[in-house]
Structure 1
Amino acid sequence: MTKLKALLLASMTAMAVLPAQAAETITWWDFFTGGDGVRMKALINDFNKEHPDIQIQATSLEWGVPFYTKVRTAAAVGEGPDMMSYHLSRLPLAMNEKVLTEVTPADMEAAGLASGDFFDTVLKAATQDNKLYAVPFDIHSLVLYYNKSYLQGTEFLDAQGNLTGITDLASFERALQAAKDKGSAAPVTYATGDDGGVYRVFYTLLAQQGGQLISDSNEVLPGDSEAKAVKAVEIMTKWHENGWQPEQALYPASVALFTSGQSAFSLNGVWEVPTMKDLAASGKLGFEWGAVQVPALMGQKATWADSHAFALPVQGDRTMTPEKRKAVMTVIGWMEKNSVRWAEAGHIPAYKPVAESVEFKQMQPNATYASLAETAVFDPNSRIAGVASPVYDAAINIISPAIHGYMPAAEAVAQMKSDLQGLLN
Structure 2
Amino acid sequence: MKHILKTLAVASGLLVGAATASFAATEITWWDFLSGGDGVRMKALIADFNKEHPDIHINATTSEWGEPFYTKVRTSAAVGQQPDVMTFHLSRVPLAVKEGVLSDITDEDLANAGLSKSDYFPRALESATEGGKLKAVPFDVHALVLYYNKDLLSKAGLLGPDGKPQGIGTIDEFNAALAKLKEQGVETPVSFQTGGEGGTWRVFYTLLAQQGGKFMDGNKVLDGDNAAKAQKALAVMTDWVSKGFAPQQAEYEASVALFSSGKSAFQLNGVWEVPTYTDLAEKKQLGFEWGAIQVPAWMGQQATWADSHSFAIPQSPQGSITGEKRKAVMTVIGWMNKHSIRWANAGHIPAYKPVADSDEFKKMEPNATYSVLAETAVYDPRSNIAGVGGPIYDAALNIMSPAINGFMTPEEAVTQMQESLGQLAAN
* TM-score normalised by structure 1 residue count: 0.95
Runs of 4+ in structure 1 over 3 Å off = 7-22
**Structure 1: which amino acid aligns with 2:149?**
N
Q: Distance in 2 between matches of 1:314 and 1:4?
A: 50
Deviations 1:76-104 (A, max 9, x none): 11111100000000000001111111001
Q: CA deviation at 1:164?
A: 1.9
1:93 pairs with 89, 92, 95, which one?
A: 95
What's 1:174 paired with?
176
**Structure 2: which amino acid aligns with 1:151?**
L
On the 8 A contact 1:79/1:316 being kept in 2, the answer is no
* 1:273 counterpart = 2:274: yes
Deviations 1:116-139 (A, max 9, x none): 110100010000110000000000
What's 2:396 paired with?
395
Q: CA deviation at 1:184?
A: 1.8
Q: Distance in 1 between matches of 2:68 and 2:358?
A: 36
Q: Cα–Cα, structure 1 residues 14 and 24, in superposed 2: closer, same or farther, change >3 Å?
A: closer
What's 2:358 paired with?
357
Matches within 5 A, 1:250-261: 250-261=251-262
Q: Cα–Cα, structure 1 residues 322 and 192, in superposed 2: closer, same or farther, change >3 Å?
A: same
Q: CA deviation at 1:65?
A: 0.8
* 1:50 counterpart = 2:52: yes
Query: What SS does the aligned partner of 2:415 have?
Result: helix
On the 8 A contact 2:90/2:307 being kept in 1, the answer is yes
Query: What SS does the aligned partner of 2:144 have?
Result: strand
What's 2:372 paired with?
371
Q: Distance in 2 between matches of 1:10 and 1:279?
A: 59
Query: What SS does the aligned partner of 2:48 have?
Result: helix
Q: Distance in 1 between matches of 2:59 and 2:23?
A: 14
* TM-score normalised by structure 2 residue count: 0.95
**Structure 2: which amino acid aligns with 1:33?**
S
Matches within 5 A, 1:26-425: 26-215=28-217, 217-425=218-426
Q: Distance in 2 between matches of 1:259 and 1:266?
A: 9
Unaligned runs of 5+ residues in structure 2 are none
Q: Distance in 2 between matches of 1:13 and 1:38?
A: 40
Deviations 1:135-154 (A, max 9, x none): 00000000000011211143
Q: Cα–Cα, structure 1 residues 207 and 319, in superposed 2: closer, same or farther, change >3 Å?
A: closer
Q: CA RMSD in A?
A: 2.3
Q: Distance in 1 between matches of 2:368 and 2:24?
A: 39
On the 8 A contact 1:22/1:55 being kept in 2, the answer is no
Q: Distance in 2 between matches of 1:343 and 1:181?
A: 37
**Structure 2: which amino acid aligns with 1:409?**
P
Q: Cα–Cα, structure 1 residues 11 and 167, in superposed 2: closer, same or farther, change >3 Å?
A: same
**Structure 2: which amino acid aligns with 1:112?**
G
Which of 283-292 and 167-176 deviates more? Answer: 167-176
Q: CA deviation at 1:219?
A: 1.4
Q: Distance in 2 between matches of 1:339 and 1:10?
A: 44
Deviations 1:209-243 (A, max 9, x none): 0000001x211112211000000111111001100
On the 8 A contact 2:313/2:320 being kept in 1, the answer is no
Deviations 1:50-98 (A, max 9, x none): 0000011111100001000000000111111100000000000001111
On the 8 A contact 1:279/1:285 being kept in 2, the answer is yes
State, as a whole percentage, how many aligned pairs show the same letter: 60
Q: Cα–Cα, structure 1 residues 100 and 274, in superposed 2: closer, same or farther, change >3 Å?
A: same
Q: CA deviation at 1:10?
A: 12
Instruction: Say how many residue pairs are matched.
Output: 423
Query: What SS does the aligned partner of 2:220 have?
Result: coil
Which of 183-192 and 140-149 deviates more? Answer: 183-192
